[in-house]
Every structure is written in structure tokens, then in C-alpha cells.
């Protein structure tokens, strides 16, 4: 799996995906668990994204 930077991920997200990621981060922040949650994105050979949250 290739590691990608946060900026690269943001560029690849659709608007709906961006809102979902921000929503998940906000919930984690409110619960005090955001630093404990590992988020990974796998870029498949066809350019599609798989989010492993």
C-alpha cells in the first residue's frame, strides 16, 4: 500500500467524501478520541479510493 499525504487525499476526495471525513473527525474531537483513531486511504491501481477508517 502506498502512503499518501493529507493534501493528496483531500485533492482526491469528492465533496460528499470530504464532508464525511470532516464529520468523523469532528465527532472524534468532541469525544476526545481523534488522536487515537488511525485513518488510512488505499489508492487502488484504477485510481479508486478505499477508506480504512
Q: What is the mean pLDDT of the chain?
A: 69
According to the model, what pLDDT value does residue 31 have? Answer: 74
More confident residue, 27 or 9: 27
C-alpha cell at 8: 493528496
Query: What percent of the chain shows pLDDT beyond 70?
Result: 45
Report the run of H or E that residue 43 belongs to, with start and end: strand 40-43
Q: CA–CA distance from 49 to each of 10, 14, 18 (Å)? A: 12, 11, 13
d(CA 13, CA 37): 19
3-state SS assignment for residue 3 = coil
**Whether residue 25 has pLDDT greater than 70:** yes
**Whether residue 17 has pLDDT greater than 70:** yes
According to the model, what pLDDT value does residue 10 have? Answer: 72
pTM for the full model?
0.39
Confirm if 38 and 1 have CB atoms less than 8 A apart: no
Amino acid at each position: 500500500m502506498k502512503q499518501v499525504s493529507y493534501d493528496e487525499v483531500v485533492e482526491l476526495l469528492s465533496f460528499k467524501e470530504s464532508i464525511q471525513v470532516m464529520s468523523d473527525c469532528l465527532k472524534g474531537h468532541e469525544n476526545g478520541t481523534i488522536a487515537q483513531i488511525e485513518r488510512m486511504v488505499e489508492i487502488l491501481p484504477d485510481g479508486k479510493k478505499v477508506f480504512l477508517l
